[in-house]
Chains A and B, each alone.
Chain A
Amino acid sequence: DAGVIQSPRHEVTEMGQEVTLRCKPISGHNSLFWYRQTMMRGLELLIYFNNNVPIDDSGMPEDRFSAKMPNASFSTLKIQPSEPRDSAVYFCASRTSPSGNTIYFGEGSWLTVV
């Protein structure tokens, strides 16, 4: 079975540009998570969805960040405008049901904002 699929794997963009990261969760999974990983702050939960509905977005750093999940097989994380401090690895992850099961991670999108 295919795992969590993220695109792009790597992106370099200029400050001020819009960045869109994409995620396809594992088929049949009902929960989807966006994490950010940096050296300074480690792994931070940005937002998560259950059945396509955002449940907790308290980790979204500021209004420049937005996430959507229009259907069960697709989610986006958008940064507009991007800043150098947004440079990080962004992971998407999914889980079979809201409660208690394993969360599976994608391989990450490596973002560099110059």
Chain B
Amino acid sequence: AQSVTQPDIHITVSEGASLELRCNYSYGATPYLFWYVQSPGQGLQLLLKYFSGDTLVQGIKGFEAEFKRSQSSFNLRKPSVHWSDAAEYFCAVCGGGGADGLTFGKGTHLIIQP
């Protein structure tokens, strides 16, 4: 069975600083990996996804993530955060060759300091 670990429950970053959110997955085959963002009271919005090919993927809102098979990681990065980036961020893996539902990590709550 697949699983996702997001080791940081909360992260505080100053506005304008760089950001890295960690994600580790467990899955026996090639994973389909996703990052979603959730603002308070809202649904989940897809930031980016990795299926195959280039291991550095670009997403919306200036986010990127890098797939590292050797480390079973898919960390999310942004070079300069904005106050509007404050939200909950979820990493997810999809098994079954992409045919299953998503298994989510517990999420990382991002706080932006002025």
> Do A and B make up one complex?
yes
- Counting chain A CB atoms within 10 Å of each CB, the highest count among B32, B36, B43 belongs to B43
Is A100 close to B, CB under 8 A? yes
Contact, CB under 8 Å: A98 / B99:
yes
Write the nearest CB–CB distance from B36 to chain A, whole angstroms: 8
Of all chain A residues, the one with the shortest Cβ separation from B32 is: A100
Contact, CB under 8 Å: A33 / B98:
no
Is A60 close to B, CB under 8 A? no
Contact, CB under 8 Å: A43 / B90:
yes
Is B23 close to A, CB under 8 A? no
- Counting chain B CB atoms within 10 Å of each CB, the highest count among A35, A43, A93, A108 belongs to A43
Is B11 close to A, CB under 8 A? no
Of all chain A residues, the one with the shortest Cβ separation from B104 is: A43
Q: A42-54 vs B: 1/0 string, CB under 8 Å? A: 1101001010000
Contact, CB under 8 Å: A102 / B49:
yes
Is B97 close to A, CB under 8 A? yes
Contact, CB under 8 Å: A105 / B107:
no
Contacts of A48 in B (CB 8 A): 100-101
Q: A90-114 vs B: 1/0 string, CB under 8 Å? A: 0101000011111111111000000
B36, B94, B103: the one contacting A100 at CB < 8 Å is B94
Number of A-B residue pairs, CB cutoff 8 Å, is: 51
Q: B22-37 vs A: 1/0 string, CB under 8 Å? A: 0000000000101010
Interface of chain A: mostly helix, strand, loop or mixed: strand
Contacts of B99 in A (CB 8 A): 50, 98-100
Closest 7 CB pairs of A and B: A100-B98, A43-B104, A105-B43, A105-B44, A107-B43, A45-B101, A42-B106
Contact, CB under 8 Å: A42 / B107:
yes
Is A14 close to B, CB under 8 A? no
Contact, CB under 8 Å: B44 / A91:
yes
Contact, CB under 8 Å: A106 / B43:
yes
B34, B36, B97: the one contacting A99 at CB < 8 Å is B97
Of all chain B residues, the one with the shortest Cβ separation from A42 is: B106
Is B70 close to A, CB under 8 A? no
Write the nearest CB–CB distance from B8 to chain A, whole angstroms: 14
Contact, CB under 8 Å: B101 / A56:
yes
Q: Please report which residues of chain A, range 73-100, place their CB below 8 angstroms from some CB of chain B when the two chains form the complex.
A: 91, 93, 98-100
